[in-house]
Amino acid sequence: MDGGQHLLDLTVPVTADLVGWPGDVPVRLDLQQSFAAGDGCTVSALSLSAHAGTHVDAPGHFLPGGGGLETIALAALVGPAWVADLGDAEAVTVEALVAAQIPAAASRVLLRTRNSARWADPTAPFDESYAGITREAASWLADRKTVLVGVDGLSAAPFDDQTEPHQRLLGAGMVVVEALDLRCAEPGWWQLACLPLRLVSPDGAPARVVIWRDGESEVRS
């Protein structure tokens, strides 16, 4: 970017001991070739869940007959975004969202909750008591014509209520981005770039997500 613009990386590092959703295949990184073994280059093989670390959910993840990753418009993944600080709220409720004072013009919203603190150690054991988006809050975001919602938990929905909140978000055409490290993201307007791997995937893919601020950060869309 011009002018040495500072990018804030919201992506959780992918390592072999990265925490994952219970039951998902763990990350596996195997060294196939190495200089130490006398090879002329280094080559690794990677195996992981489509929902490992920071990732984007496709509609087909929770909607029967929903589209795959290729149905997500790139335009939804890049542009102005509002970082909302929900503090220590136990869950992402309508009340917590209203208290965060999200501007009406914010069509992309990144929700910073108590979950972000857990990314100080991405290898820490899974905690099912993370703050997730309730059914009512999912409908509230949908009613606001939200284009993209990003969360700092491994899932957008509460551990014990996965299907309905996801269906309300994805069914409204919203892009759902999960496992963002928002510890250093100050509340307010940012520019966002969220690009998942171009997998032919029915349910999602890992993504690299960055935000930055410049003279255009106050542009609404």
Residue-wise pLDDT tens digits, 51-100: 999 999 999 999 999 999 999 999 999 999 999 999 999 999 999 999 99
User: Domain map of the chain by residue range?
Assistant: 2-12+49-212
* Nearest Cα to Cα of residue 144 among 104, 190, 95, 98: 104
Superfamily designation of domain 2-12+49-212: Putative cyclase (3.50.30.50)
Q: Where are the alpha helices (DSSP H) in the chain?
A: 74-77, 94-99, 135-143, 163-171
pTM: 0.94
Residue 219: predicted pLDDT: 43
Across the chain, mean pLDDT equals 95
* Residue with the larger pLDDT of the pair 5 and 97: 97
Q: What is the mean pLDDT of residues 185-201?
A: 97
Residue 92: predicted pLDDT: 98
Residue 215: predicted pLDDT: 64
The yes-or-no verdict on residue 110 having pLDDT over 50 is yes
Q: Please tell me whether residue 2 adopts helix, strand or coil conformation.
A: helix
Residue 44: predicted pLDDT: 97
Q: What sign has the CA pseudo-torsion 69, 70, 73, 74? A: positive
As given in the structure block, the two tokens for residue 180 are 């963002």
11 and 209 in contact (C-beta within 8 Å)?
yes
CA 59/CA 203 separation, integer angstroms: 7
